[in-house]
Structure 1
């Protein structure tokens, strides 16, 4: 009987690495030190060292503008027009819930694009003209988390021969409560 080998490796916890540490890694790489040696000396995974090496230009640019090198996370500033669009979209979703209008992900994403384009066209700010927005699935998931939206999904098998009044009653049943219905 062949032996089955069980994995005893423990999943490592994700940790933030300071900008200072990243700069030290870059200095060692530029000095010609091998990645394996850097891993052992600094206690970092090989993939982490490789990612730092691949993002060298981004890290160096940030380090020149950063006030403190002991910051652990590089953050990206969100544009005000996108934040305003998300607030308006949330108000629209709440309004549709109060009126018991069912919505799906595609409808919400289309409305987000529509609101964004309206905001962008209404402002004469040159900085706003360069801002782009894609209402992707990833954006939608993050939007739900930011606004603490709970989406209820119901799969309905409906008889195609039934009249529209049946569909309206099902929509009314699904829209009761405070959840957005997909």
Structure 2
């Protein structure tokens, strides 16, 4: 559709149909059909919501980007040393790195707090291309007393 609109615009600007057809490597009769249906094409384009308006994205700050890079390196190192990774361990490491980097980059210390949610972790795995990372489950076997004492020991 985008190509058809560009062809229509180029014809309206006075460019020859033969030259336009060559630039798109298509037959000039195809351009003729596009021009014949110009009104329908333009009506359709105006009625359709642009694709870019349906994409929701959030730009990560400098601290978040650096934290995710460091976390990715740490996770790969842990895997090479065959250390089992749990979601809870990864989340704690992410929070720790984030807080350290936030102190380092004072200008970005404002904003919503980072809580390393399950959703963040799954999106992080996709962004960092860590599809082969195995995370062991701990929900049933978690030692909550040891987990509370661990940050103090660390």
* TM-score (structure 1 length as normaliser): 0.42
- More helix, by proportion: 2
Larger radius of gyration: 2
* TM-score (structure 2 length as normaliser): 0.49
Larger RCO (alpha carbons 8 Å, 6+ apart) = 1
